[in-house]
Structures are given as structure tokens and as C-alpha cells.
Amino acid sequence: MSATAGTSRRTSRTRIGLFAGSTLALATALVLTACVASPSVDSSSSTSSAGLTGDITAAVDTSAVIAQLSWGAAQTVNGVTYDGTETSATLGDGTVTIASNGIPNHERDEYYAVGTAGVQLPNASNSQLSADPTAEQDQSFSIPTRPEYSETITAAPLGSIGIMISGAVIFNPFEADNKTVAMASNFTLNEDGKTGSFIDQCAGHPGPGGEYHYHGNSECITRQVDETGGGSHIIGLALDGFPIYGAYDIDGIEVKASELDECNGIFSATPEFPSGIYHYVLPLTSDETSSIRCFHGVVDESQIQPMPPMQGGQGQPPGQGQPPGQAPGMQPGMQPAPKPGG
């Protein structure tokens, strides 16, 4: 549930240590899963910027930039501190391994609109208001730090598709039918003076098992690294290793969805990579271009951790607690998200 003013939710830890072989440890938070597989994509394309010295196919070592990212650093918003994020990120030989408790470092709604039992696609007529069911997770990813661009694309399937600097993951644009766009299907419920929406003001929501995730560009993340009128900075990593950015190019000009390839990617200069790098962009849209739909990099599909089945009714109605022995945010019969290798 959301933090309250004057209350520190939990101590956020950021540990930095160098080990042999260029290893780094950090601490922040992460939530892993995804709402649904994306539609099949049957063509590949790329967009490059004139005058760049980089090559879209050349491997770029991102480890130095990753080491400087502020993963899950505590935020104070309107006098409330959000510091419940716990994640370790370790740089090794060509990879960064990130483990997390899945709690984002920003505000969440006190109540959410969630589907009732058996509902696969929540809407205003088949949902109920629930106290925030977001729950800690136990997840881990190994992501390449020299991402390889591929002409062959991989559809973003069921499961997490990227990790954001907030400590939560991002999913593709769709809900469980592989057609319904989450950002375009938002709705709000009002019950007994309480209000909750399907998608919150941070472009995210908790899914089955209480796993919080995003479906689009989140101001709750971009405000942590960007300045008004300036270019977008890295706000996450896709599972193929390519960085994820907000909606503005290096000159602070909005990048339109029409400028991106079928995976929401583009090759251009960024503040961190002025010579150019292929990267994903989250445009200011609420249609199927709102999130990454496929990977244009080589991705280890074993790193995509599937979400629990949609069973509806997640969370508890306002004023009700968890049954004895039941994990926070879980309904009877729901299972926690599978752990890596599980």
C-alpha cells in the first residue's frame, strides 16, 4: 500500500563494491512479470541517425553506464519517502545480474480496480475496488552488457521484458487476450467514498501475485533522471541488454511513435551514448506503441519470467486483511511468481 507522510516505508539499500573481473553490487528494487504475449511481428526494421559515428550492428559495452545508474534510490514526493526498494545488481563478465524484491521507488495508489474472481480482462462492470495488492517478489535476471543487434526480431512474450531504474519491470502493451491495450483500457471505480483505477498515475499496476509493472511511459520514473526541456536519459534495460529511454531525443525533441521501428526501437545519439546506440523509446502514447512489443537484440528467453495465471480477485476489498498464512496481495489458490530456474 502507499506510504504515509512522515513514515519511511523501509530502508532502501544501495551497495557499491568492486570485485575482480569488474563486478559491481548495488541495491534497489524490482518487480518481475508481464501481462501478456504481444502479437506476432513478421518484419524487421531499424532507424538510424545521419552523421553518427556509431554502427547499429556494433556491440556497445554498456557496463560503465549501468554502474552509474541510480537503481531504486529513495524518492521523497510531497513529503512522503518511498524507500522500500531492495535490489542487487552485479556486473560480471559481459552481464549484469539483477535481483529484486519488486517494490517500486515511487507512489502507488491506495486502492486499485481489479477483476473479480475468474475475470481475465478487467473492466468497470466486472471488477472491484481492492486495497493495493502490491507484494514483494523474489526475482533475478542476467542481462548482457554488450547487447547484440539482430535483424531477426523476437516477439515480447508473456513475462517481464525489461527492468526500470525504479526497481519495477515493464511489460508489453497488452492484457491477457493479446489484443487489449492496457493504457487504452483504463477505468476508475468509486465505492463508499474510495477511488481506485486499473492503471495508476505512474502508468503501472499490480498484477497477479501482487507484481507491480508498467505498460508505458511513466513520469514517476522519468522525473528521477530528466530535466524539463532536456533529452531523455536511461530509465531501464530491456532483457536483450539494450537501454530503455523516455520520449525525448538528445536535443529534447519529442520522439514520435512513427519514428520508431516495430519494436519501439531507434538508433540515435543519447546523453549516455553520444556516438549512437540502438535503444527502445517509450513514446507519449496510450495505444499499442506505448511499450516494447518485440526485441531487436539477441535475448535469452530463459530470463523472461512468466506471470502467474490471471485468476481475478487479487487483493482484498477495502478494510479486509489477508487470511492467516496467505502472502500479502494473494487470493486463495493464487501462486507466487516462479523464481529463476523454477
- Looking at the 3D structure of the chain, how many domains does it have? 1
Residue 324 lies in a domain: no
Phi, psi values for residue 315, rounded to 5°: 85, 180
Residue 235 lies in a domain: yes
The tens place of each residue's pLDDT in the chain, 342 residues long, gives: 444 433 333 333 333 333 333 334 433 333 333 344 444 443 333 443 444 667 899 989 999 999 999 898 899 999 999 999 887 788 999 999 888 889 999 999 999 999 998 888 999 999 999 999 999 998 889 999 999 999 999 999 767 999 999 999 999 999 988 789 999 999 999 999 999 999 999 999 998 889 999 999 999 999 999 999 999 999 999 999 999 999 999 999 999 999 999 999 999 999 999 999 999 999 999 999 999 999 999 999 788 877 666 554 454 444 433 333 333 333 333 333 333 333
Residue 124 lies in a domain: yes
Residue 102 lies in a domain: yes
Q: Which domain holds residue 119?
A: 18-303
Phi, psi values for residue 64, rounded to 5°: -65, -40
Question: 9-58, pLDDT tens digit by residue?
Answer: 333 333 333 333 333 443 333 333 334 444 444 333 344 344 466 789 99
Distance CA 182, CA 199 (A): 8
Residue 293 lies in a domain: yes
Residue 326 lies in a domain: no
Residue 80 lies in a domain: yes
Distance CA 104, CA 84 (A): 7
| pTM (2 d.p.) | 0.79
